[in-house]
Amino acid sequence: MAMFKGRRAESDNGWTGYGPWPYTILDESDLAHHIERLALVHTEGPTESLTIQPFPAPDKNQDRHTITQWNTPQGLWKVFSVFDGHAGHETVDYANNNLIPALEAAVLSAQSSEPEDEKAVLEPSRVIEVLRKAVSSFDDNITQHFLQLFPGGPEVLSQLTDDEIRAVSMVDGRPHPAVQPCIAGSTVLVALLDPARQLYVVSLGDSIAILGIKNDHGSQWKAKLLSAFHNGLNPEEVQRLKRDHPDQPDVVTNGRVLGGIAVTRALGDHVFKLPSIYADRVFRLACADSHIISKADGFLPRCLTPPYLLNDPDIVHVDLSKVSPADNVLLLASDGLGDLKDVHDKLPDPLAEHWVKIAAESERPALSVLRDAMGGNDLEKASFWITVEMEEPWMDDTTIVVTRL
């Protein structure tokens, strides 16, 4: 912590019953410098992105994001994505490297199969269908590649010795490539703008997508939340889980599925998607030091009727053909952004509008939204997030992407 120079203080950051912890209150210039340094800010055209995890250790940040374009016969697609990993890096890295190419292949395939004008852009209903199937199939393929390691299913698996399981599930002392993306998990948030200026936002999990559009008079910004909230704190998701598992009234406990995981839909997380024998025998042996496996004794006995997590995304479509780039702003973020404001439920409309206004009016939109969430002009609050001295990470990984479409 020697890099921080300022007034020493202590705070519990409002976390009643915990702390206080020592930290350093920075002056404005030092605070701004360190936030930008730690946030790894990147600007590309009208897009500013950042990702931050201030804990002073490498490889702690499990967020990923990409900004890319697809050159198709129908024109240019703009694609922005945020992946929020949990319980390890394996699934989020796999998703970050492979999901966007899979979506592109699915869209191109659908376009080429259209019997009409090959230059025409797909209808929105068709795009939604293609994207939904592509995301679900991506995760289904993870499942199938893993299950192929153990043909015969749970019955045969139960007859194998530990050494036989290790021989199949591990390669050179590490989990088999087909096992790795099953252990951890990742949310999905992808925004796609097609050549006809049709916007699609694909969400799986609890990341945040907000679209801001100027009103007809051009004097105010209106915000619309485009992402779903697939989380154990969402009453609709809780009711769905109770319908799917009627014999388990406590399927969601303390806002967590089986008391073990907050999200209700995600890629990976096969501990919650497959019969418990796979976690108890294969994952324990191949990934004994995994974060989720270390907690498995607390929820595996209740894993009776999987799957508990779904891979079916929600997709929202917005027609931007009559909205100029100057009159819209899109903000994508992992749920760490809400956590900074102590918002763990669905993002309130006033906060969404507040962040849209900041993003729309700032020359450094992503950085300005981050600073606001960290405390804005409150130097003590903002400094705490950067300089507090704890043994474990105190802030959720936070990724923000802001662009004009």
Decide if 329 contacts 404 (C-beta within 8 A).
yes
Q: What percent of the chain has pLDDT over 90?
A: 90
Greatest CA separation for the chain? 71
The predicted-structure confidence for 315-347, as pLDDT tens digits, reads as follows 999 999 999 999 999 999 999 999 999 999 999
CA distance 405 to 394: 34
Predicted local confidence at residue 219, as pLDDT: 75
Q: Is the peptide bond preceding residue 20 cis, with omega within 30 degrees of 0?
A: yes
The predicted-structure confidence for 39-49, as pLDDT tens digits, reads as follows 999 999 999 99
Predicted local confidence at residue 291, as pLDDT: 85
The predicted-structure confidence for 171-187, as pLDDT tens digits, reads as follows 999 999 999 999 999 99
Pairing of strands 75-86, 188-193: antiparallel
Pick among 3.60.40.10, 1.10.3720.10, 3.40.50.300, 3.30.460.20: CATH of 7-147+184-230+265-269+309-403: 3.60.40.10
The predicted-structure confidence for 188-225, as pLDDT tens digits, reads as follows 999 999 999 999 999 999 999 999 999 877 779 999 99
Closest CA to 141 of 189, 191, 91: 91
Predicted local confidence at residue 263, as pLDDT: 98
To the nearest whole number, what is the mean pLDDT of the chain? 95
The predicted-structure confidence for 18-71, as pLDDT tens digits, reads as follows 999 999 999 999 999 999 999 999 999 999 999 999 998 878 999 999 999 999
Residue 322, class by beta-carbon neighbours within 10 Å (0-12 exposed, 13-18 middle, 19+ buried)? exposed
Closest CA to 276 of 291, 298, 253, 256: 298
The predicted-structure confidence for 115-167, as pLDDT tens digits, reads as follows 666 677 899 999 999 999 999 999 999 999 999 999 999 999 999 999 999 99
The predicted-structure confidence for 232-288, as pLDDT tens digits, reads as follows 999 999 999 999 999 999 999 999 999 999 999 999 999 999 999 999 999 999 998
**pTM of structure:** 0.96
Q: Where are the domains of the chain?
A: 7-147+184-230+265-269+309-403
Predicted local confidence at residue 116, as pLDDT: 63
CA distance 252 to 255: 6
Please report where in the chains the tokens 């993002």 appear, as a residue. Answer: 347
